[in-house]
Amino acid sequence: MAEKQSGLVERLRSTRAGEVLDLRRRVKRLEAEVQECRALNVRLAELTDIVTELLLPVAARDEEKLAELLEKYRQSV
C-alpha cells in the first residue's frame, strides 16, 4: 500500500510540475503579446497625431511639427 501511495505522490508531483511549466510558458507568451499590443498602441497614437495634423486647415497647420511627426513615424517603421 505504501508503494501505491508513493507512486501516486510521484505522479501528482510530476503532473503539478508539468502544469507549472505550462503556466510559465503561457505567461511568457502572454507577456510577449502584451508588449506587442503596447507597441501597436504607440504606433496608432503616432498615426493619430499625424492624421490630426493633416486634417487641420493649411493656414493653421504646423508644418515643422508635421514634418517631425512624419520623420519620427518613418524611422519607427
pLDDT in tens, 6-52: 776 777 677 777 888 889 999 999 999 999 999 999 999 999 988 98
Cell of 72: 519620427
User: Structure pTM?
Assistant: 0.61
Residues listed for the chain: 77
Higher pLDDT, 4 or 55: 55
Total number of domains in the chain: 1
pLDDT at residue 4 is higher than 60: yes
Q: How far apart are CA 76 and CA 14, in angstroms?
A: 46
- CB atoms near residue 69 (< 10 Å): 19
Domain containing 64: what range? 2-76
